[in-house]
Chains A and B, each alone.
Chain A
């Protein structure tokens, strides 16, 4: 029957199947994933194009900041300790925005995993995306699964040498481009590109390229699924994230079992047969080299390529799609109970079908309701809360800041005319890419006067202080008060810093120290 239906039986076995389990330290079993085609594969191509596009192109986007700041849209300027993201500029003390984004990323991962399972692993994780890219190269050069297996078994011939060399050279080129793209986030991309190729770039640029080239080549080309299985902590953490209402890629054995390679013959002999024809297509396409029919397992990254492979086979057999599908454990258990008459009988696919062979209407399928539960709503609420908080903080944040350091040694100085002087280091932060002139004055300290070295006071006692764009200006301010007024040991007063051309004002409450107690 299979021959008639033109379904290829693949000689594929899962690397971690029970009968092949072996002692530790065994050499890796090579995996030769077959090309899959279908809806999920197309979706993965799209995700790959988007994520790679973002990674490679973003440093080249320009953003006009008016000449006083870099015009690169996304730039992590470590030397000057500034982070630019389109219209947002972050100073080091505002790094909590990044921390907030990381909190959102964490909560987002919880939300995503508790609803759609390991979607991050299967679609957007850089490891998955780059392995996919490397596999594209491998297939283009060495052919699909069977050709690659054959080539691997061959002893080295000139043809094999050429193919292998070509593959590794292209992999290395991709790896270099990957490492190369990374550094453009840290300096002006067009300048750095020229510098890199003319040998003018910093040594750290070259070593970063070398390091990321090595990791990309080794992880994406050589280690592949081993990174997910052995190195990555996320497969371990996900066990706590998933619950019975989370989507996982599931082999629906309630309609697939008992599987049979000779379904028609068996059926004719009166045996119970399920939908699975044991063609191994799901195993052959798996980039992790596992058999999804063994149930949920740590190695599965839920890339859904086995769904595509199986759906193709089911189409050819004229059966309903979804023998392998995204399913929640709840739905699976309900359907399984149906197929086994509440667990009392072995699986009989006839129980999930109507007499005319259609799947029973009582079977449960993905529903929106399974996404909306207390846990996911809580994650979504927390995620939004942090997001709203960050946006609020961003919209209302100050672009003018002031820090005042009171001299501690000595705390005060007695002058010859009997007055008391305190010294302060005033740090004015002009956090926009525009030069500004700040009016600095003190408020709330009777009969006092302020002096700044090298500056003349205005008639109202304030000082006009120009501050360069995106810079901090440090000033030494001396505040003097007559002795008979400075009777109390500690008085509080305010430094007021006003933008002369804008609405921003900043005050800082400082203390004035005097010996005290002796008028």
Chain B
């Protein structure tokens, strides 16, 4: 095939023809590509052409060819989401039909609701209550057993669904502590602040003769209770326990008495729907402080 007399490009050493190109005395051997390689190469080209017919491929000015199969990755996502939805639908229906006690009593429902509630909590609640539901100044810690509006599963559900002082919800929790700066004299406020600070120092309820006891009984006990135990009907905090949501120290207590601050929380029932709110309640209850 490579007759040295006929092939001017033959490489003497290897007996293989060269391409005829020469760079500074270096020539390139014209070895054939392995046949399997060439076949794979052409097969890839054929595959690419076939692919462009069946799948979205060629870019147009504002869109792209859709391909005869009509494949779309967005449609894939939609169908996968629909499949996930369908897989969950049994649980969702069961949670929708059950009340809180039934959900918590059923191990499967409780597990599903708690997991779903945990996910919903991370999207909607952690902005105020923190990622571990640990709260912060003015935003209640949901892990502990101190509840403003009640810690039973049903009370938690009501609070989440209707919110606190949420103007958009007619059934929301509403209460307002008067600004005692307009009612009491500064020295009265100072003495009742001392009294309230002493409530939670662990020594029990002070004597009736203690300074401020009289003022407390007349002005505060109607909402916060005779012994400062609070009232969850109107969201009046327990003043006698060791936990305090807003304030620490007599100065801060006095300031709260003069011009109280009130927390607000949106009503989530309308935004998230019945099922998600139940799941959230199950999750919050699972944190360990529920009654």
Listed in ascending order, the chain A residues whose CB lies under 8 Å from chain B are 23-25, 27, 407-410, 413-418, 421, 423, 451, 453-454, 476, 478, 483
Contact = CB atoms under 8 A, between A and B. Distances in A.
B99 interface: no
A417 B288 contact: no
Given A24-B31, A25-B34, A409-B132, A415 B202 contact: no
Q: How large is the interface on B (under 10, 10 to 19, 20 to 34, 35 or more residues)?
A: 20 to 34
Nearest to B104: A454
Contacts of A409: 130-132, 134
B141, B143, B241 — most chain A CB neighbours (10 Å): B143
A413 B141 contact: yes
3 interchain residue pairs of minimum CB distance: A409-B132, A416-B241, A410-B134
Contacts, number: 61
B107 interface: yes
Interface in B140-166: 141, 143-146
B63 interface: no
28 contacts: A23-B14, A23-B16, A23-B31, A25-B32, A407-B132, A409-B130, A410-B134, A410-B141, A410-B143, A413-B289, A414-B242, A415-B144, A415-B243, A415-B289, A416-B144, A416-B146, A416-B241, A417-B241, A417-B242, A418-B202, A418-B241, A418-B242, A423-B143, A423-B288, A451-B288, A453-B288, A476-B286, A476-B288
Interface of B: 14-16, 31-35, 107, 110, 130-132, 134, 141, 143-146, 202, 238, 241-243, 286, 288-289
A423 B35 CA distance: 67
A407 B131 CA distance: 12
B34, B141, B242, B288 — most chain A CB neighbours (10 Å): B288
Contacts of A478: 288
Main secondary structure of the interface of B (DSSP, over half): loop
B135 to A, nearest CB: 9
A415 B286 contact: no
A384 B11 CA distance: 58
B81 to A, nearest CB: 21
A416 B242 contact: yes
A115 B170 CA distance: 89
Nearest to A407: B132
Contacts of A415: 144-146, 242-243, 289
Contacts of A408: 132
B107 A454 contact: yes
A80 B256 CA distance: 58
A27 B14 CA distance: 17
Contacts of B34: 25
A460 to B, nearest CB: 22
Contact of A414 (B15, B144, B286): B144
A413 to B, nearest CB: 4
Given A23-B14, A407-B132, A413-B289, 17 more contacts: A23-B16, A408-B132, A410-B132, A410-B141, A413-B141, A413-B143, A413-B144, A415-B144, A415-B145, A415-B243, A416-B241, A418-B241, A421-B143, A421-B144, A423-B143, A451-B288, A476-B286
